[in-house]
Amino acid sequence: MSTVYFVIPCYNEEAVLPETVKELTAQLQSMVQEGLADEKSRMLFVDDGSKDRTWELIEQFHSENQFVNGLKLAHNRGHQNALLAGLMTAKEEADCAISLDADLQDDVSVLPQFVQKFQDGCDVVYGVRNKRETDTWFKRTTAEGFYKVMAKLGVDIVFNHADYRLMSKCALDALSEYKEVNLFLRGIVPLIGYRSDYVYYDRHERFAGESKYPLKKMISFAMDGITSFSVKPLKIISNIGIFVAMISIIGLLYALISHFLGNTVSGWTAIVCSIWLLGGIQMLCLGVVGEYIGKIYSEVKGRPRFRIEKHLK
Ligand code: UDP
Ligand code: MG
């Protein structure tokens, strides 16, 4: 029998927490009864610096429910860092940890399947979504586009897998060796290796409250994912440079030949348009280079990724 931890990052989730605790407790209890998990198994709620009553609720559940543990981060560090804080704590206390969202979007009825696969010898079990019907058309297309771009850039990433996954102690130990500040777990976990498998599930609507991933955060998350795992954008901009230079040589030859044939190329439009076009391309390229420099800047500083203020166990 193994000690199983559910790691649940929570940011302003007071509206969903009571239901989440209820459903997860039922799951954990039945896993204990079936002999999949032992009595030391816990749900570890990580409060990511919430501004609402999330932490008070976690404290209250901790006092009433033997299965509830809590971790309070000193300030809001974002989903990935909150998850990491929870996983690093679970690494010390459990045999395996399953990360899932607080809003019950990840189908909790498949939780025993994760543990079953772990007991069959897998170190990483990825939760993969069957279909994306509950998402808006916009979220679905942007997400699909993102996975395709990542695959094109050569990043090894599991399609339609978010952060619903099981990791064994040994996989968590390996994860702790990745010290990057710009954390993108979906990209790092496949790099770890070890034996892995999949569990398929249907993703539900958010139980209550609102998504903490508005469009702006989604774009920056996707950009982070791309620039943390691939330098292909830098190669693409060099190729754009070569392409533009070749076009300008052709233009130059055309202008010279025309001049010697007696009809000098004239025109304000051509000059102004090409200056603006090239100016635009240059700024775009500088922006891409800037993204990488920004990454280096934050990695070099190596600031702590999270700070634990309180730990209820
Ligand atoms: N979350 C977090 N810190 C944040 C934002 C979100 O810990 O700064 C948690 C949130 O409470 C939830 C999970 O990350 O448990 C996923 O967030 P959400 O459900 O809002 O994202 P979506 O499912 O809409 O992509
Ligand atoms: Mg959600």
271 plus 164 within the same structural domain: no
Q: Assess if residue 186 is contained within a domain.
A: yes
Q: Are residues 204 and 262 in the same domain?
A: no
In the chain, % of residues over pLDDT 90: 52
Residues 264 and 208 in one domain: no
The mean pLDDT value for 142-171 works out to: 88
Distance 297 CA to ligand 2 centre (A): 31
Residue 224 lies in a domain: no
17 pocket-lining for ligand 1 (C-beta < 6 Å): no
The vertex-35 CA angle with 32 and 36, nearest 5°, equals 80
The mean per-residue pLDDT over the stretch 21-32 comes to: 94
Which residue's C-alpha comes closest to atom 6 of ligand 1? 79
Please give the ipTM for the structure prediction.
0.95
Ligand 1, atom 16: nearest CA belongs to which residue? 101
pLDDT of residue 136: 77
- Domain residues for the domain of 38 are 4-134+160-213+305-312
What's the 213 CA to ligand 2 centre distance in angstroms?
Answer: 8
Ligand 1 mean position, distance from CA 192 (Å): 24
Ligand 1 contact via 11 beta carbon (within 6 Å) = yes
User: Could you tell me if residue 148 is inside a domain?
Assistant: no
Task: Tell the residue nearest (CA) to atom 2 of ligand 1.
Answer: 79
Question: Band of the pLDDT at 233, cuts 50, 70, 90?
Answer: confident
The pLDDT assigned to 24 comes to: 95
CA distances from 272 to 190, 200, 250 (A): 49, 56, 18
Q: pLDDT tens-digit profile of 242-264?
A: 888 888 888 888 888 888 888 77
The total of structural domains in the chain comes to 2
Residue 226 in any domain: the answer is: no
Residue 163 to residue 156: CA distance in whole angstroms = 15
* Residue 47 CB–ligand 1 contact under 6 Å: no
Cα-based torsion angle of the residue sequence 150, 202, 84, 118 in order, rounded to the nearest 10 degrees: -100
If asked whether residues 172 and 263 sit together in one domain, one would say no
Instruction: Indicate whether 173 and 121 sit together in one domain.
Output: yes
**Is residue 141 in contact with ligand 1, taking CB distance under 6 Å?**
no
Q: Quick one: pLDDT at residue 149?
A: 86
Most confident of 137-151, 175-189, 205-219: 175-189
Shared domain check, 197 and 79: yes
C-beta 211 within 6 A of ligand 1? yes
Residues 242 and 268 both lie in one domain:
yes
**Pocket perturbation via mutation, ligand 1, pick of 79, 98, 217, 224 by most ligand atoms within 8 A of CB:** 79
Give yes or no: residues 23 and 114 share one domain: yes
Nearest ligand to the CA atom of 218: 1
Q: For residue 198, name the pLDDT band (cuts at 50, 70, 90).
A: very high
Q: Are residues 123 and 255 in the same domain?
A: no
Residues 171 and 118 in one domain: yes
pLDDT tens digits, one per residue of 272-283: 878 888 888 888
Cα 53 to averaged position of ligand 1 atoms, centre (Å): 16
Residues 44 and 179 in one domain: yes
**Cα-trace Rg, the chain:** 25
- 222 within domain boundaries: no
In a domain, residue 225? The reply is no
Backbone angles phi, psi at 196, to 5 degrees: -130, 165
Residue nearest to atom 23 of ligand 1 (CA): 211
Q: Are residues 35 and 177 in the same domain?
A: yes
Task: Specify the CATH number for the domain of residue 124.
Answer: 3.90.550.10
